[in-house]
Structure 1
């Protein structure tokens, strides 16, 4: 497990900023204790600095994971968020009505009729976290329209493009190793 290089950090922060904007600093400079990002076998982990120092005593071959897996770097150098990062990023979310939750978990896009609440300043093509009506994070999406446009849309218009959801584990169960 090692610290991220400057270019890896830049790519990670660019991806996170698509979902949580300037709130990235809140992830690192937490009031309870400082946290950091560490890399292990192309996967980025979000872990407290105290735990990261303790883990430095374990050899890289014997360490499988540490903290919360935020995602992984592809061979081309891009960063893909994993569904395990959802709980951390969920405080910046779009909430669905109970009627739209199952549709989203089956892999469908988010329709205007399914939205319970949405932040007023959400621009078009912004990454969003999808939450249920009772604040359970369910997945990631990309906003299809700006929040200002959504007020005048018809109920069947797509507001968010599906990216990943908790239902993927069930739908792809036979392909999991």
Structure 2
């Protein structure tokens, strides 16, 4: 387990910024109230076996007592680096992205299962959509009862979505909570 170097930090923050915008400050400066210490700690990012974790500093200090080979996980895994150096957010990051999301879409109840099976979001599936979305922006997908289901990338701007036909793709699927069941052996 180690801290992210400057290049890795930049890549991770750029990816998070795509989804949360200026709310990235809320993630980085989030106070941590753990243990008996009345002073709040902070959260930090750590790298272990090409996976990036979001954990409180007090948890990181306690994890130093565990050997590197025996440490399986630490805090919340938010993503992983590929062999080519690209960073991909994993479904575990949803708990951090959802409360800080800049762009959101809400799915009709009849369309939720389609998204949870890994399909993209079509215009016909939309219940609501936030304004000022541009193509390529990160979007968090919710049910109509405000339960975060996953996230993806906008294929069209909000303006273009209103003009498009019902079968056009609005959000390209990246991760959803159904992955816990579909990829049970890998996770």
Query: Cα distance 1:45–1:97, how it changes in 2: closer, same or farther (>3 A)?
Result: same
1:141 aligns with 2:152: yes
Query: How many Å apart are 1:172 and its aligned residue?
Result: 4.4
Instruction: Provide, for residues 158-177 of structure 1, a one-character-per-residue CA deviation record: whole Å limited to 9, x for no partner.
Output: 2111222222343445x648
2:162 match: 151
Query: How many Å apart are 1:39 and its aligned residue?
Result: 0.8
Instruction: Provide, for residues 41-87 of structure 1, a one-character-per-residue CA deviation record: whole Å limited to 9, x for no partner.
Output: 11110011222222223222222111000011112111111111111
1:125 aligns with 2:136: yes
1:106 aligns with 2:106: no
Matches within 5 A, 1:17-166: 17-31=17-31, 33=40, 34-91=42-99, 92=101, 93-166=104-177
1:3 aligns with 2:3: yes
TM-score w.r.t. length of structure 2: 0.85
Query: Aligned Cα RMSD in Å?
Result: 1.9
Structure 1 residues 156-165 or 6-15, which shifts more? 156-165
Query: How many Å apart are 1:31 and its aligned residue?
Result: 4.7
1:16 match: 16
Instruction: Provide, for residues 61-114 of structure 1, a one-character-per-residue CA deviation record: whole Å limited to 9, x for no partner.
Output: 222111000011112111111111111111213221112101111222111121
Residues in 1 aligned to 2:183 and 2:50: alpha-carbon distance in whole angstroms:
22
TM-score w.r.t. length of structure 1: 0.89
- The answer to whether the Cα contact below 8 Å between 2:79 and 2:93 also exists between their aligned partners in 1 is yes
Which ranges of structure 1 fall in alignment gaps of 5 or more residues?
Answer: none
Query: How many Å apart are 1:156 and its aligned residue?
Result: 2.2
SS at structure 2 position matched to 1:90: helix
Residues in 2 aligned to 1:134 and 1:59: alpha-carbon distance in whole angstroms:
43
Residues in 2 aligned to 1:40 and 1:130: alpha-carbon distance in whole angstroms:
28
Residues in 1 aligned to 2:179 and 2:66: alpha-carbon distance in whole angstroms:
33
